[in-house]
Structures are given as structure tokens and as C-alpha cells.
Structure 1
């Protein structure tokens, strides 16, 4: 069963669920929400701080990015917490070369780069099959 909110996803990760899978499942929940209001409700409640700086910053970036990309009209206030920013840069590849660091520095969306997270141009894209045709 997918997490219903980003806060619930973080709770599951803290309880031992795999981070990548749990966040991907949350993104499915967000994308399947019927309205912009329903999408906002999935990111509205602040996830608990985990003492894992990367995860805390990442969920702030995810919430802000989704709110802006989907034009939800507002961004949850909790994303501005200084605890949602990293002191040191995090390049999200396993062993970035100098060229990869440069690429990630310039391609990272502002919502991620402002938190010192350097990632690809579309960090939340998901592979999707074709939508069923409605008859």
C-alpha cells in the first residue's frame, strides 16, 4: 500500500522501509491525486525531521518542487526550515567525476540546488506505462 502523504513516507523510511521505493510510491500517490487540492494535501503536513540531513533536505526539495512544477498555488511553509538544507554539497551519483559534478551543478532544479542537492534535470520522473484508453 502506497503512503498517502510525504510525511507518512518519511515515517515508513524511519521504520526501515527502503527510501527509494517508498519515495517512488509516494510520487505515484501524488500523481494519482484527482485535483490540485488533493495533491497539495499529500505534501501539506510536515514530515518529521529524521536526523538524516540528506533525507530531511530531500523531502523539502521534493515538496517544493512538486508544488511549483504542478502549479499548486502555494508551497508548504515547512520547506523553508533551515534543517531542510545541507551544509555540504550532495551530488546524487555514486562517484561523480569533475565533469559529472559540473553537469549536476548546472542541471539541478532550483528547489534542489538551493538545498545543496545536485541531481539531474528531472529528478522525480517516473517510468509510466500508457494510460488506459477510456471508452
Structure 2
């Protein structure tokens, strides 16, 4: 995969340099590390920020990120999850940061 805008790599790398503030939820700590590593690889940045590899960025127990708690969904997420997430025991869809392109199927009444 070729980067569309290689000239933007320095700006993208700079956005990942500063470590986010520590949170009390270990799942979010791990998620921040996974997202940083995933974005660095997706944009072919020269390196992943070191803070993303801190021990508190890895979960002790599996977290299947899904509103559905059934065995079939857990199995799908286990195999579909990108390595940057799976290595941290976080299991999500194959493109975890994609934007929704269609309208929401749920209607919100005011």
C-alpha cells in the first residue's frame, strides 16, 4: 500500500509524540497504545512512539470490543483484529478506525 500524502508524515508523527494522560481504565490505556501503533503503521511513519509499548498499554484479560456478547462475535473479532490490537489482548473489527459512511439505522426522538 502506497501512502497518499507522504509529505504529511512529519505532522502525523508529531501528533503521536505526546503520551496521553494516564486514565484509570486499563482498557483505555491499552486502546491508546493500540491506536498509536496502528496509525503509525497505517501511515508508514518512521517509528511508533515509545509510550505505546509501555507495560500498562497491554491488557491482562481479553477485551472483545462489541455491543454483542455472543461466542460467534467473539470468535470473529479474535481472528479479524489487527495485530496492533490483538497483541494487547484487544479484539475488534479488521478496520477499527473506519468512519461510518451510511446513516444511522436508529432514530433518535427529541
How far apart, CA to CA, are the structure 1 residues paired with 2:100 and 2:14? Answer: 24
Structure 2 partner of 1:43: 16
Aligned residue runs from structure 1 range 10-21, under 5 A = none
Quote how far apart the aligned CAs of 1:51 are. 1.5
Higher relative contact order (Cα pairs below 8 Å, separated by 6+ residues):
2
Structure 1 runs of 4+ off > 4 angstroms?
none
Structure 2 stretches lacking a partner, 5+ long: 1-6, 102-110
Aligned residue runs from structure 1 range 22-37, under 5 A = 35-37=8-10
State the secondary structure of the residue aligned to 1:63.
helix
Structure 2 partner of 1:54: 27
| 1:125 aligned onto 2:91 | no
Identify the structure with the greater helix proportion.
1
TM-score (norm 2): 0.81
How far apart, CA to CA, are the structure 2 residues paired with 1:48 and 1:79? Answer: 12
State the secondary structure of the residue aligned to 1:35.
helix
How far apart, CA to CA, are the structure 2 residues paired with 1:127 and 1:103? Answer: 20
Structure 2 partner of 1:92: 65
Structure 1 stretches lacking a partner, 5+ long: 1-33, 129-135
How far apart, CA to CA, are the structure 2 residues paired with 1:35 and 1:113? Answer: 28
RMSD value, Cα: 1.3
TM-score (norm 1): 0.67
- Of the two, which has the highest radius of gyration? 2
How many pairs align? 95
